[in-house]
Amino acid sequence: MMSVTHEGRVAIVTGASRGIGLGIARSLVADGARVVITARKSEALMKAVEALGGPEHALGIVGHADDSAHQGEVVAAARATFGRLDYLVNNTGINPSYGPMLDTDLEVGRKVLEVNVLSAFSWIQTAVRAGLGTPDSPGGAIVNVASIAGLRATGALGWYAVSKAALIHLTTELAYQLGPDVRVNAVAPAVVKTAFAQSLYVGREAAVAAQSPLKRLGVPEVVAR
């Protein structure tokens, strides 16, 4: 496997108090980066900061991912605390409904698109305007955590799947517009063993794993790398 180092780099990872987001933050810190992580719940976020090695390596800021004021605060804190901003990982995502789309209230769809797509765009816009990828921090990179649900019909994930399809295309558009100064990529995991995805595998893990070529579910550490 290719050796990767992020020594001296600074990253923002949204939704990083647990699961895939925390796994990504762990991987970045292990490879030499410092991270600013966000989440909605203070206690869980502070525990994540401790798990990442404390304030020398990580800063936690509580807030809602789709709050533009919160986004500005986090980006400013990254530069004020660690002196630069190199990476942004849009990991926050919600899926408040499960089942036939026609049974879903329209406001649910709006909220999912707001958090999973428009919020990701706003984070990118804020970070780039604050200097991500500028000459003083070359090699800027953005990663959007999408989902395999954005690549094919699921029959059950409805607006979540639609939002991830939109996020994948947003990634493609911004990669074209921001490259080569800033690389923009997405990762599209299948079912990963996290609290967020429990409804997809609990009680039938073997059957779900059988649908994968490797015959196992994903884990946050693998997605992080």
55: how many CB neighbours lie within 10 A of its CB?
12
**φ and ψ of 62, to 5 deg:** -80, 140
Count how many residues are written for the chain. Answer: 225
Alpha-carbon torsion (209, 210, 216, 220), positive or negative = negative
Residues recognised as catalytic: 160
**Strand duo 10-13 + 87-90: pairing:** parallel
Which ranges in 105-216 belong to alpha helices (H)? 106-113, 119-129, 158-178, 198-201, 205-209
